[in-house]
Amino acid sequence: VTAEKAGFDHFMLKEIYEQPKAYRDTMGSRIDPSGKRIVMNELKMTDEYIHRIQQIHIVACGTAYHAGMVGKSIIEKLARIPVETDVASEYRYRSPIITPNTLVVVVSQSGETADTLAALREAKRCGARVVAITNVVGSSVAREADDVIVTWAGPEIAVASTKAYTSQLIAFYLFGLYLAQTLGTQDEAYIADVVTELKLLPDKVEQILQHAEIIKEWAEQISTHDNLFFIGRGIDYAVVLEGSLKLKEISYIHSEAYPSGELKHGTLALIEEGIPVIALATQPELFEKTVSNIKEVKARGAYVFGIHTLGETELVKAVDQVLEIPQTIPLLSPALSVVPLQLLAYYASLARGNDVDKPRNLAKSVTVE
Ligand code: G6P
């Protein structure tokens, strides 16, 4: 078993460290040798079809749903197509408006999640085209979808998903760029810039992993608490939702992820002396507002751990502890900023003596609705 874990104590840690490879493998030949364009030969949809897409629904469960929330930002920004996200177990029951010009993107690591499969079938029944983003070639979801984008993360064993999630993000970047390039919603130079930055992500993840010790200390500090908050704005909010889920799944510490600006409309009442708050601030246009939200919780006694992009010094003054992550273009930051949050969950679970790879009550793949 130790051999399977390649010297790591747990599958989860091994899988966290496999992310640079998973990014490279998922990008693979989908980046044109010129380094400026995306090639997606696996897609059967025609350019003519892409021009007809009026709306996109992204449907998934759990961590894959959180990847879909980032996917919404990516597609809307790059391709300017309106996107809705739904939790798969809710999708069918809200009588969603699905037309033949609706593209439904289902996201599933295993490709076997019952709720996701049921949503896929409902979408097809209503005449939509379905794209599956999955890690398992030949899975049920892959077989039934019209198009399949495989994430080449390799087998994921730990129940808490890490490299599958980040590979799903990479798949969304590639697909979003592909749509933009087909629709002409972004100019070629911009697409080339994003592709260049995408290729730099694996090395930047390596750099973050070199700071795992800092996160381990943070995890030890939070492990004695029963409640904490994650805050972030914009795309950072989608990332903190995933960070909070990860922590709940394996450390059993209750946490809530909140859009920082919304705190003052209720949840701020829960901020009391010493409560840990993890603040993510990677988006330049929201930076100032985020810093003022951090000051609001600090003023009420919160102990704030801040994660921000290198070069923003204002945050350093506002928080109690700080971790800097490498710079990238703001849209790509989730592929970096989630990594410290994965490590935080891992080390908090470890500090509490939990079974990291097999958390109570949870299954890797849920095949009942
Ligand atoms: C289970 C797992 C989660 C996962 C979710 C969706 O609940 O414990 O980690 O995110 O299913 O799985 P899928 O295979 O569809 O991505």
| Centre of ligand 1 from the C-alpha of residue 11, in Å | 16
Query: Mind giving me the DSSP string for 36-71?
Result: S-B--TT----HHHHHH--EEEEEE-HHHHHHHHHH
Per-residue DSSP letters for 90-133? HHGGG-----TTEEEEEEESSS--HHHHHHHHHHHHTT-EEEEE
Q: Is 110 in the pocket of ligand 1 (CB under 6 A)?
A: yes
Q: Whose CA is nearest to atom 5 of ligand 1?
A: 62
Give the residue ranges of the chain where pLDDT is below 70: 1-3
How distant is the alpha carbon of residue 86 from its chain centre?
15
Cβ–Cβ < 8 Å for 152, 136: no
User: Do the Cβ atoms of 325 and 205 come closer than 8 Å?
Assistant: no
Amino acid 249: pLDDT: 97
Q: Tell me: the pLDDT tens digits for 263-291?
A: 999 999 999 999 999 999 999 999 899 99
| Residue 310: per-residue pLDDT | 78
Could you read off the pLDDT of 318-366 as tens digits, one per residue? 899 999 999 999 999 999 999 999 999 999 999 999 999 999 999 998 9
Q: Any catalytic annotation for residue 163?
A: no
Q: Does the CB atom of residue 62 touch ligand 1 within 6 A?
A: yes
Q: What pLDDT does residue 3 have? A: 61
Residue nearest to atom 4 of ligand 1 (CA): 62
